[in-house]
Amino acid sequence: MLVGQGQAAQLPSRRQSTSVGFHPTSSARKACLLLQQKAVLHHSSTTVPGGTPLARILTAFNKALAAKKPNPPAIIIDEANKFTSWSTDYPKELDSLLSFFVAVTKQENLTHVLLLTSDYGYVNWLEQGIGKTFYNVQVIGDFPVKEARAFYSTRVPGPVSDEDWEQVYQVCGGNAGLLIRAAKADLQKALTDIITTVRPSVERGLEPSIDAGFTAQQQVLQAMVRENLLAYRPYSTWAIDIHTDAFGPKRKEVVTAPTPAHLHCMRELELPDEPAADTGAGSAFSDPETAAVRKAITDVEGEISDVKTEIDDIKKDLKTAQARSDTQEVQQLRDELRQLRNKESQLREVLKKRLDKELLLMQSEASAA
C-alpha cells in the first residue's frame, strides 16, 4: 500500500524490502521533530516492536536528514500489516505515526509513503485509522496463465508437460509465491505440502468462533477477510489477473479467495450438512435452481475423478507395454477429461451468478435488520 499525496498501493504478491527516507527540508525536520516530541512525551521509556524506542528511531532519522540530497524521497515500510497490533499495544505511538504520514504526504507534499503488505484485511484497518481520502490502494495480482507457465518453467529443470502444468495451475494458479514453492521440490510432494498447509485454515472457517464476528450478518464478509478465508480485491489498473469487467461499471470491490491454493481447497471441501431449508419466499438458499446446479457440479467432479483414475491405470500399463491402442485410449480419455472440465467451468459460472444473487439478497436482509 502506498500512502502519499493522497495515493496508496497494496502490493500482495511481492517480496518487499524496508527503507526509509525523508526530504531534508526545514518542514520535514519540523514534522520529524514534532513526532519525536510526541513519542517522548507519551512513552519515553516504552519500546516498540523490535526493542527500539520510537523516539530513538526518530532521533536517528533527524540526524540523517542533513546528509540527504534535496531530492523527493519515499518512505517504504514492509509488512505494514504488523502495525495492526499497535492498536492495542501502542495506540499513542500509532496515532503519532499515522499523523506523521499524513503530514509529510497530504499536507506538506514532501514525500511518498509506501506501506507494503500481503494482508488484504489491512486496507479496512487503515481506513479506520486514516480515512480513504488520504490514500489510494493499488493491487499487483497474480500472473495470467501464459505468464504463470513461463515463470514456473524458468524455475524447474527440463520442459513442463501440459499434464504437469495442469496440476500446478489447479493448485497454484498464477501466484508467484506458490509457483516458486511448487518448483523447489518433487511436483506431487510440493503440491501436497501446499494443500496440507492451506486446508486447515479453510476447514476452520466452516466452524468459526463466536468471537470472529460471524454471528452478525453485516460483518460476515469482514470477519472472513480478517480470518484470511476471503479477500477484498479493490479495482486496480496494476492488476492483470482479474478482468476489469469483474469490477462492474462502478469499479466495486470483488471478493476472491486469498490465493489459488485456498480456492483449490475450497473446491475440495466436504461441506457440513446444511440445516433444513427455510420454506419462506425470502430465503435465498431455498432456491431449487441453485441446488440443481450444485448437484450437477458434484456429478461432473465425480466423472472427472473417474476419468483421471482410468488415465492413471493405463499409464501404469504403458510402463510395461507400449501398445498403440492404449496410447490412443489415453488420448481419448484426455479429450473426455477436457470436455468434462469445460462443462464444470460452465456450471461453476452459472453457480457463481446464482451465489452473487444470493449474496445481494443476504446483504439486503442484513441492511433491513
* DSSP secondary structure of 242-310: S-GGGGTTTT--EEE-SSHHHHHHHHH--PPPPPPPP-STT-GGG-HHHHHHHHHHHHHHHHHHHHHHH
pLDDT for 151 equals: 94
Same domain, residue pair 92 and 47: yes
Same domain, residue pair 106 and 192: no
Same domain, residue pair 201 and 150: yes
pLDDT higher for 129 or 216?
129
The answer to which of 40-54, 65-79, 159-173, 187-201 has the lowest mean pLDDT is 40-54
Same domain, residue pair 293 and 251: no
The Cα–Cα gap between 268 and 367 comes to 32
Same domain, residue pair 100 and 203: no
- Ranked by mean pLDDT, the top range of 158-167, 257-266, 307-316 is 158-167
The Cα–Cα gap between 231 and 254 comes to 8
pLDDT for 140 equals: 80
In terms of Cβ atoms closer than 10 Å to its own Cβ (0-12, 13-18, 19+), residue 72 is exposed
Mean of the per-residue pLDDT values for the chain?
69
Cell numbers 466452524 correspond to what residue?
A: 207
- pLDDT confidence band for 308 (50 / 70 / 90): low
Same domain, residue pair 9 and 111: yes
Grouping H, G, I as helix, E, B as strand and the rest as coil, residue 314 is: helix
Q: Is the pTM for the entire model greater than 0.85?
A: no
Among 85, 109, 134, give the residue marking a domain's end: 134
Pull the grid cell for residue 104.
509529510
Residue pair 114/74 in contact by the 8 Å Cβ criterion: yes
- Contact partners, residue 213, CB within 8 Å, separation at least 6: 219, 220, 222, 223, 226
Query: 54-65 and 26-43 helices cross at what angle (nearest 10)?
Result: 160
pLDDT for 102 equals: 84
The answer to which of 1-5, 107-111, 169-173, 203-207 has the lowest mean pLDDT is 1-5
Among 107, 134, 161, give the residue marking a domain's end: 134
Neighbours of 238 (CB within 10 A): 11
pLDDT per position as a tens digit, 42-93: 444 444 444 456 667 767 766 665 566 666 678 888 888 888 888 888 888 8
The Cα–Cα gap between 38 and 95 comes to 10
Determine how β-strand 112-115 pairs with β-strand 231-233: unpaired
Same domain, residue pair 65 and 164: no
Same domain, residue pair 123 and 21: yes
Same domain, residue pair 254 and 297: no
* Sign of the CA dihedral running 276, 280, 283, 289: positive
Supply the range of the domain harboring residue 91: 2-134
Same domain, residue pair 115 and 170: no
pLDDT for 94 equals: 86
pLDDT for 273 equals: 53
Same domain, residue pair 168 and 218: yes
Question: Mean per-residue pLDDT for 311-337?
Answer: 65
Question: Mean per-residue pLDDT for 115-122?
Answer: 81
pLDDT per position as a tens digit, 251-287: 677 778 777 777 777 777 665 555 544 444 444 444 5
Among 269, 298, 313, give the residue marking a domain's end: 269
The Cα–Cα gap between 3 and 105 comes to 7
The Cα–Cα gap between 181 and 118 comes to 17
Whole-angstrom CA distances from 235 to 4, 123, 232 are 19, 13, 10
pLDDT for 70 equals: 65
pLDDT for 150 equals: 93
Same domain, residue pair 155 and 48: no
The Cα–Cα gap between 345 and 365 comes to 30
The answer to which of 28-32, 68-72, 137-141 has the lowest mean pLDDT is 28-32
How many folded domains does the chain comprise?
Answer: 3
pLDDT higher for 352 or 261?
261
